[in-house]
Structure 1
Amino acid sequence: MEEINQSGIINKSLWDQDRFRSLEDIDVSADGTPVLRFLISATYSIVCAVGLVGNLLVLFFIKVRQERRKSKINFFILNLAATDLQFVLTLPFWAVDTALDFSWPFGDAMCKIVLSVTVMNMYASVFFLTAMSITRYWSVASALKDRTRKRSCSVRWVCMALWVLATAATAPTAIFSTVTSVEGEKLCLLKFPEGHHWLALYHLQKILIAFVIPMVIVSISYLMLVRLIRRCSMKNNSRRITQVTKSVTIVVLSFFLCWMPNHAITFWGVLVKFNAVYFDKTYYMVHTYVFPVTVCLAHANSCLNPIIYCLMRKEFRTKLRALISCK
């Protein structure tokens, strides 16, 4: 069987035994050290707390104050906040799982539900970020033209389609996630059939659909947006150009920096699985100590989203100051 848990920690017994014949000098007792587990659990807890506050504020400003009616971007932000909120609600389960040395105490049904919700919201969050980049460019391009195109897809139908796509991409997780007994411990794992490199194909899907393709689309959309504004704006709008350029840079960099390390090490693991790269001590140590940190960094993106897309916008900062003043 091919097995991996949510944090990417792979036990030595879960790999092909011949891969470890030349790795007998590796100190496996250090795998899952209490300090590392504590740091991961603490990070999950902080991300959960900050993400709850940030995304609830976004939902309050857009849903309660009816801001979603003013633009398509706000409707995407509403869905992004909803999916990020669902995502951070799964982090307490993973914090407990990590603190217990990846021993899952919540049963098989909750393993399947929590792992599926985690992965589904990862896909949905990336999809909404991508849709927002396209919508922002299309809105500016339409506004700069003499006429606005009357025919456009309903943002509600687009969001519904993105949720369906995220659910479809999560199907392998929902099918293969289960609680498995490994060396006397019950672990919440993705358990794939033997052969056909299921685990490598699963990771390739995640890398391509949740990072490479969205990153290309986001980058192209924002580069086209900056180019369009620079070409069409008047000289006295240089301040606006600077603001948009800064916003675009922060959006692309935050998305890239949060997800790139995780997907880079994941791709390294895919190469190892396909025997394109030899499994050595370096990979083992990176996957044991560095990869969990990259998982935390990727999860932190759910905290950054409300900050980037709302608190950087003047109208949201004004409403937040007004809310604080009332309190």
Structure 2
Amino acid sequence: MDSDYYHSNYSDDYLDYEFYDDIINNSEIVRKDSSDDMRSIARILSVVIYTAVCLLGILGNGLVIVIITFKMKKSVNAIWFLNLAVADFLFNIFLPITIAYTAMDYNWVFGIAMCKLNSFLLIVNMYTSIFLLTTISVDRCISVVFPVWSQNHRTNKLACFICVIVWALGFLMSSPSLVFRDIRSQHSKVICFSNYSLSPSHLPLGKMRHATVNITRFLFAFLIPMTVITVCYIIILFRLKRNRLAKSKKPFKIIVAIIVIFFLCWSPYHILHLLETQHHSVPTSIFPVGIPIVTAIAVSNSCMNPVLYVFMGQDFKKFKVTILSRLVNALSEDTTHSNFTHRSFSKVSSMTEKETILL
């Protein structure tokens, strides 16, 4: 099999990465011994991060789902946060498969169907999470700029309809994983990778597909949502300052944290994958080390969301001490929490500008 065929398809689909160290650029051999140590360090670090994210994500997002489902009055806010938590929870549930794959030095033992399904579900999480965060930002912005319109039209039914659209778009944008994800024996191991060419005779088409998928993800899963989120919160900040509604710096710190964490987690991942489409112009040694690291950083965002988008928000502001005690109170004190949530969420339908500044 032509080694360039392997090289043109070493890209991962969000988590799974295997660097094909065959002949590159006219028979120039990549020396494994010069990068084995760094690759091992990157792989071990990835396993550690994935494991921590998996445990924290399942616990945090699982408790968020329980709290919203059984302890809170149903509202637009609850619908946004529930869908966001479900997307992250679904991601975390399948993360052990990737942990095992990475721990076994990228040896895939789960078959081609699971290779496709695992990648598909992970990409679905990426798109749905980002689309939901963008939706939350737009919702907050509309509530601040057009409070009367928001009061009259911001309904649970509309929120559910939007969430259905978000999930449908997530499935559609993730469909390339079901088509191009493949497994193949390579150096006494089985790898799960993106076979954009599908056959050695379709190398130019494969490179075009590879570039198209990466650029599409950069635009629709990062650049456009990031721009929308930033614009929304800039508008919110100016509106609040102009009307002098913000009496503390806490809302501004939360808004800055949301934007900064989102940018820091995802920008390295998308930037490196854009460079991957131009691998002949970039030192190939950066990919086997860089992609596992930036992927782990991106993945970590899934366990940060419960803190950034729920527990620091308006709906949880009366809980005290620590996040753990907030969760304990929410899960154990049914009567007290029920009274609190009734008071908190009964305000949603008549939301003022000051009440909509937090996620």
Where on the TM-score scale, by shorter chain, does this alignment land: which range?
Answer: 0.7 to 0.9
Corresponding residue of 1:64: 70
In the alignment, which residue of structure 2 is the partner of 1:99?
Answer: 103
SS at match of 1:195: helix
The alpha-carbon distance between structure 1 residues 99 and 219, as it changes in their structure 2 partners (threshold 3 A), is: same
Aligned residues: CA RMSD? 2.3
Alignment partner, residue 118 of structure 1 = 122
1:229 matched residue in structure 2: 240
Q: Which amino acid aligns with 2:270?
A: H
The separation in 2 between residues aligned to 1:126 and 1:34, in whole angstroms, is 31
TM-score of the superposed pair, with normalisation by structure 1: 0.86
The whole-number CA distance in structure 1 between the counterparts of 2:186 and 2:31 is 23
Q: How does 1:229-248 map to 2 (within 5 A)?
A: 229-234=240-245, 237-239=246-248, 242-248=249-255
Aligned residues: 309
- Supply the distance in 2 between the matched residues of 1:139 and 1:314 (Cα, whole angstroms): 14
CA deviation map 1:34-63 (0-9, x unaligned): 443222112111100000111012112211
- Residue aligning to 1:218: 229
Where does residue 277 of structure 2 map in the other structure? 270
Structure 1 residue 107, shift from structure 2 partner: 1.2
- Per-residue Cα deviation, 1:77-104 (whole angstroms, up to 9, x for no partner): 1100000000111211011001111000
C-alpha distance in 1 between matches for 2:30 and 2:194: 27
- Counterpart CA distance in 2 for 1:132 and 1:20 is 50
Match of 2:46 among 19, 34, 40: 40
The residue aligned with 2:152 is 150
* Contact preservation (8 Å) 1:9, 1:287: no
After TM superposition, the structure 1 = structure 2 runs for residues 1-327 of structure 1, keeping only pairs within 5 Å, are: 1=5, 2-3=8-9, 4-5=11-12, 6-13=15-22, 17-19=23-25, 21-22=27-28, 27=33, 30=36, 33-69=39-75, 72-143=76-147, 148=150, 150-151=152-153, 154-193=158-197, 194-196=203-205, 197=207, 198-234=209-245, 237-239=246-248, 242-272=249-279, 278-280=281-283, 284-313=284-313, 315-316=315-316, 318=318, 321=325, 323-324=327-328, 326=332
Q: Secondary structure at the match of 2:185?
A: strand
Question: Contact 1:203/1:270 (CA < 8 Å) preserved in 2?
Answer: yes
* Corresponding residue for residue 337 of structure 2: none
What is the match of residue 353 of structure 2? none
Q: Which amino acid aligns with 1:215?
A: M
Question: C-alpha separation between the residues in 2 aligned to 1:286 and 1:260?
Answer: 16
- Bigger drift between 288-297 and 121-130 goes to 288-297
Q: Deviations over 1:245-280 (max 9, x none)?
A: 1111010001000001111111111233xx6xx243
Distance 1:20 1:105 in 2: 33
Q: Alpha carbons of 1:175 and 1:314: their partners in 2 closer, same or farther (altered >3 Å)?
A: same
Please report how far the alpha carbon of residue 160 of structure 1 lies from its aligned counterpart in structure 2 after TM superposition.
0.4
Shift of 1:293: 1.0
Q: Is the 8 A contact 1:141 1:228 kept in 2?
A: yes
* Distance of 2:45 and 2:310 partners within structure 1: 29
How many angstroms apart in 2 are the aligned matches of 1:31 and 1:111? 27
Task: State the one-letter code of the partner of 2:301.
Answer: N
Q: What letter corresponds to residue 51 of structure 1 in structure 2?
A: G
Checking the alignment, whether the CA contact within 8 Å between 1:112 and 1:177 is kept in structure 2 is: yes
Identity rate, percent: 25
2:204 aligned counterpart, secondary structure? coil
Whole-Å separation in 2 of the counterparts to 1:216 and 1:322: 33
Measure the CA separation in 2 of the matches of 1:48 and 1:168.
25
Contact 1:310 1:317 in 2 (8 A): no
How many Å apart are 1:152 and its aligned residue? Answer: 5.5
Q: Supply the AA of the counterpart residue of 1:306.
A: P
Gaps of 5+ in 1: none
- For 2:185 and 2:269, locate their aligned partners in 1 and report how far apart those are by CA, in whole Å: 26
Aligned equivalents of 1:208, 1:174: Cα separation in 2: 21
2:129 maps to amino acid = S
Give unpaired runs (5+ residues) of structure 2.
198-202, 334-359
